[in-house]
Amino acid sequence: MNFRTFAAFVGPSIVMMLLFIAFPLISVFTQSFYITQPIYEVVEVETCTPGFLTQTCVTEENSVPILDEHGEIVTKTEFVGLQSYRNVLELDRVWTAFREGSWTAFQTIDFWKALRFTLTFTLITLPLNLGVGLGIALMINNAAKSIRGPVIFISLLPFIITPVIGALSINWLFRGDGILTAIMEWYSGRDIALFAQAWTIEILMMLYRVWHVAPFAGIVLYAGLQTVNQDSLESALIDGASRWQRMRYVIIPHLMPLITFISMIHLMDSYRVFEEIVGFSSQGHVISLQWLTYDFLVPDQAGNRSISRASASAMLTMVGIVILLIAPLRRTWRDHKGSN
């Protein structure tokens, strides 16, 4: 392939990646080192009590933002270096919590509370996603050809549903007056409140994530099962290998590149968990790193947004994703070198 043909194919993708990924990422990285704040001035405000003859007036000094000629608040931007990262990490409170041995105090720090849940959510749902996905793939592969199409369609339904809608649906089923909660209360004879504590909310969120994304893993692995060497399976069967041994020594090694691919997609997607926080309304108990970034961008009562801290939180999230991807990327690189 000559250079002009290669450029014609790759050029549009490179432009789109620069425009929608690289430039915004550079902008966020730059903004994390600057703080934009309104400029305030101190003015005297006189307040008088209602009354006749004995009216009392009090003069107070208040800080109000300076407005320009168009009525907009005047702001100033200052370079603060790593201060935004320090504000997000709150390392002083972290060291204090460690010295006191207080896990409760540590969990009151927003970033570390979000990091704890994000890592737990990502690393627990990964093996569950792979296991359920492999089960779906085997179910489809072993189904009769006459019903294989409907089985694939039914298996893909959870993945087709919009994430927020799916999370809201599970939320409504398990709320205090939800159908499944009512059934469990009728069966157990006691009141059940699954949204009253953090750990039950986390379990429901993890189960929802596996239910939602496992069909994707199942379809990818099902495609991989179509390329398994049948001669190897027959040889293993002749040698007396059990179903589990054939799965362990023939099928799974063959599917390992696809398992690595699914793991990378899952790590990137789950580490940015956000829809579950919105759908389950878990902000009072559980937050994620992506939610923390969003929360920094929500205007306060004065209409100000913590753009610098949001940028710092986004960059820290990006660093976490890169760290999690090191292991599967190294395996992919070793497999690539071995194939050459």
Per-residue pLDDT tens digits for 288-305: 999 999 999 888 766 678
pLDDT at 288: 92
Is pLDDT of 180 > 70? yes
Please give the average per-residue pLDDT across 165-177, as a whole number.
85
How many other β-carbons are positioned within 10 Å of the β-carbon of residue 133? 26
Please give the average per-residue pLDDT across 59-69, as a whole number.
77
Q: Work out whether the CA dihedral 195, 200, 206, 208 comes out positive or negative.
A: negative
pLDDT at 128: 95
Q: Per residue in 80-116, pLDDT tens?
A: 889 999 999 998 988 988 888 888 888 888 999 999 9
pLDDT at 117: 94
Would you give the distance in Å from CA 335 to the centre of its chain? 28
pLDDT tier for residue 340 given thresholds of 50, 70 and 90: low
Q: Per residue in 129-148, pLDDT tens?
A: 999 999 999 999 888 888 88
Say which amino acid occupies 329: L
Q: Which domains does the chain have, with CATH numbers?
A: 3-84 (no CATH), 103-339 (1.10.3720.10)
Check residues 158 and 54 and name the one with the higher pLDDT: 158
Q: Per residue in 224-278, pLDDT tens?
A: 999 888 888 888 888 888 888 888 888 898 899 899 999 999 999 999 899 889 8
Q: Which of 287, 316, 304 shows the shortest CA–CA distance to 87?
A: 316
How many other β-carbons are positioned within 10 Å of the β-carbon of residue 337? 8
pLDDT at 222: 93
Is pLDDT of 73 > 70? yes
- Angle between helix axes 198-225 and 252-270 (nearest 10 degrees) is 140
Beta strands in 12-169 (DSSP E): 34-38, 40-48, 57-65, 75-79
Q: Per residue in 2-25, pLDDT tens?
A: 778 878 888 888 888 888 888 989
Is pLDDT of 124 > 90? yes
Angle made by CA atoms 42, 47, 53, in degrees to the nearest 5? 150
Predicted TM-score (pTM) of this structure: 0.83
- Angle between helix axes 110-142 and 252-270 (nearest 10 degrees) is 150
